[in-house]
Structure 1
Amino acid sequence: MTDSLFPKLTSYDAFLTSLKQHVRTAQMRAALAVNQELVLLYWQIGREILQRQQEEGWGTKVIERLAKDLKREFPDIRGFSARNLKYMRSFAEAYPDEQIVQQPAAQIPWFHNCVLLDRVKVPEQRVWYIQQTNQNGWSRAILEMQIESRLYERQGSAVTNFSQTLPQPQSDLAQQLLKDPYHFDFLTLGKEAQERDLERALVERIRNFLLELGAGFSFVGSQYPLEVSGQEYRLDLLFYHLTLRCFVIIDLKMVEFQPEFSGKMNFYVSAVNAILRHPDDQPTIGIILCKSKNKTVAELALQGMTQPIGVSTHKIGQDVPEQLKGIMPTVEQLEMELDTAAAQLEAQKHDGLDT
């Protein structure tokens, strides 16, 4: 016999889902608060070291001694190595204003900040990478990869006609959406590769591709069919951008940009607006992704276009010589071997615990 006082399952499930969300939100807030306190502590330690060195002439050797004394006093607390204390000093030097530490820099993990101190020397760029890390949830490895690929310099540098074809602030947001060039280092294609080869490779590596495109892209399909007046046309790649609230078409080219490419994309964008676009959607955007481009030619080609179009370039990982393709392992084979090695290592650790 069921308990008549027990709520209906649908009501209970909704209640449980709500509680789970509250718990997760509280956990996130707690983790963020702990991180902020840690970063602020490290900044305060770094500031004290910096002030003593500047005002009292302490040398660098004091950091080695300080590390030993702090470890002796707090043996259960990690983070007081000489190397980390030097990072604290550099951190305080990079952010002399405590208010800055309480806002952007304290919102990312400490070792993310260490990466930025090592790799990004311009303060404005450092703040930009912090903001992107917060918005996109980048791990430390992803942050390092984005810095290595010079994402800051590539962002918003594509040739577009967005300022003439899109209203504000949509035009500025769309401009920042595009990069030039796009780095496809995760691909290896031969010199004779065609557009379809590039398309298939990108779809097979869709997670890497989406990461390079940036946050907000949702993959709709490849060779997406559109029927216009009884004739079928196919889009290389179709995405929907969740922040811009619009469709994004990508046309792939393995050659230098040609003016006629813009006319074809103008038609594609018009067709998607007529067939797929919902009344609540923003205007569709087209991206022509070429092997290379002449900036002047691209700018002139876009002047007469009525639809928002951007022209950018792509860089693919180094070509593999034909004579090596048969003997070099594929990425999938390498991943499989790494998984096998990790499993063997884990088994060895368990064997060691049992003995």
Structure 2
Amino acid sequence: MSNKESNIEKTNFDAFIQAVGSEIEQAQVRLIVAANAQMLFHYWKIGNYILYHQQLHGWGSKIIKQLAKAIRLHYPEKKGYSERNLTYMCQFAKAYPLRALQSFIETDASLSVPTIQSVTNEVLKLNDKQFTQELTAQIQSIDCQSLAITQEVPAQFEDVGKTVSAIYRMGIREIEEVFLTSPIAKINWTSQMTILDSSLPLGLSYWYMKQSVEMGWSSNVLKMQIDSDLYSRQISNNKVNNFTTTLPAPQSDLANYLLKDPYIFDLAGTKEKADERDIEEQLVKHVTCYLLEMGNGFAFVARQKHFQVGNSDFYADLILYSIPLHAYIVVELKATPFKPEYAGQLNFYINVVDDKLRGENDNKTIGLLLCKGKDEVVAQYALTGYDQPIGISDYQLSKAIPENLKSALPSIEEVEEELASFLDKDKNP
């Protein structure tokens, strides 16, 4: 075999190995995801089983303590069945009866392209729904005779009896499919406990679950977003922008959906009365937290991006790129409340970025003005007449980064090293 043929064979073999390795890694991810979903389904069934027998026999809450003790005695090698965890399993089952999971799936289908209005409508619809608790009799396939509903069953079990009959017709496999298809099966148990501890209405629980899956949040990040009331900041608060008049309908809806008001940035080491440059410097140092707050699919492009226009030099505070919007985002930071002239300055930078950076496959550049407060009426008047898309939001500075989240973030040195390549490219294009 010639050297040329040998090199070709090695190239083919290397590609083959890479393909096999990729499949192994993907299989590991699939196995982990599948194992998590099956564990959640198991916990949901256990919770339903406990709730059913509590009501059927009037055992009360003490049964959980006794059950935890019995499991330790008979199955000492099994973990995850403490009194606390069994209590959470009951809460889990009670919070998400079967018909609630079916409603989640239906809501998923109607929100294939989310907008402020559609999300609000669906969340409120879920919040208003009342579900009769469907207990473990729904899902027990081990011993049907022990779960049969007879004429002696009290009146309050009539609905459960109807459900039991339907479930036996439906079958445990079909129930499992409903559970695994719903968003409830796609986040981990710690995140589920976080949502349960927050006592959210059903619609909000659904929304935070969906966001957690889409954004890849850890349970710590999920708790931060719930504590900071992300739903209100992104969905229910009135937001000031001119997107509907400056962007085509699909993009304007998505841009409005992604915009938050206020933004909350967790910045350790920021001065109490920070100026724009100090805030900007801290945002870059904590770029991971910053992009987390901006939302899914935002990439950092540059800080203090230099543009020469005519004989003058200009520096845009921050430039991001939004993958969902396929557009550059120019961010201007102001350490003072909104003033109408700020919109003019941002409009100028949008024009420059459109001319200097925007490619033929990029959508219209969007401007985001972050201020320390605003008069919404003044801000809305200030946007009238501009052809460029601009959003105006408040921002708040918080130094309350949980210790357990800090450990998951890269160090400032690592972030600065990562950003150095961006800054060097800016200086030496």
TM-score range, shorter chain: 0.7 to 0.9
Counterpart Cα distance in 1 of 2:268 and 2:92: 36
2:53 match: 52
1:106 match: 185
1:193 to partner: Cα distance: 2.6
1:272 match: 353
Residue identity matched to 2:221: I
Task: Please list the CA deviations of residues 35-85 of structure 1 after superposition, one character each: whole Å capped at 9, or x if unmatched.
Answer: 111111111111111122233322100111111112222222211111111
Q: Map 1:75-114; keep pairs closer than 5 Å.
A: 75-97=76-98, 99=102, 101-102=179-180, 103-114=182-193
Determine if contact 1:39/1:110 at 8 Å carries over to the other structure: yes
Counterpart Cα distance in 2 of 1:57 and 1:195: 63
1:155 aligned onto 2:156: no
Residue identity matched to 1:149: S
Residue identity matched to 1:304: G
1:318 to partner: Cα distance: 6.3
Counterpart Cα distance in 2 of 1:318 and 1:20: 42
Residue identity matched to 2:211: Q
Instruction: Describe the SS at the equivalent of 1:287.
Output: strand
Seen in structure 2, the aligned counterparts of structure 1 residues 120 and 19 have a Cα distance that, compared at 3 Å, is farther
Counterpart Cα distance in 2 of 1:274 and 1:59: 69
1:35 aligned onto 2:46: no
Determine if contact 1:257/1:298 at 8 Å carries over to the other structure: yes
Q: Equivalent of 1:212, from 293, 308, 312?
A: 293
Instruction: Describe the SS at the equivalent of 1:239.
Output: strand
Task: Please list the CA deviations of residues 295-353 of structure 1 after superposition, one character each: whole Å capped at 9, or x if unmatched.
Answer: 1111111122111100011111369xxxxxxxxxxx99xx99xxxxxxxxxxxxxxxxx
Counterpart Cα distance in 1 of 2:393 and 2:204: 22
1:66 aligned onto 2:45: no
1:123 aligned onto 2:202: yes
Q: Map 1:1-355; keep pairs closer than 5 Å.
A: 7-97=8-98, 99=102, 101-102=179-180, 103-156=182-235, 157=237, 158-317=239-398
1:227 to partner: Cα distance: 2.4
State TM-score, norm by structure 2.
0.71
Determine if contact 2:319/2:331 at 8 Å carries over to the other structure: yes
1:230 to partner: Cα distance: 3.6
Determine if contact 1:160/1:311 at 8 Å carries over to the other structure: yes
Residue identity matched to 2:70: D
Gaps of 5+ in 1: 320-330, 337-355
1:176 to partner: Cα distance: 1.8
Determine if contact 2:301/2:320 at 8 Å carries over to the other structure: yes
Gaps of 5+ in 2: 105-178, 401-405, 412-429
Identity of aligned residues (%): 41
Determine if contact 1:63/1:85 at 8 Å carries over to the other structure: yes
1:189 to partner: Cα distance: 2.9
Counterpart Cα distance in 1 of 2:346 and 2:394: 15
> What is the root-mean-square deviation in Å for CA atoms of aligned residues?
2.3
Counterpart Cα distance in 1 of 2:71 and 2:272: 58
Instruction: Describe the SS at the equivalent of 2:329.
Output: strand
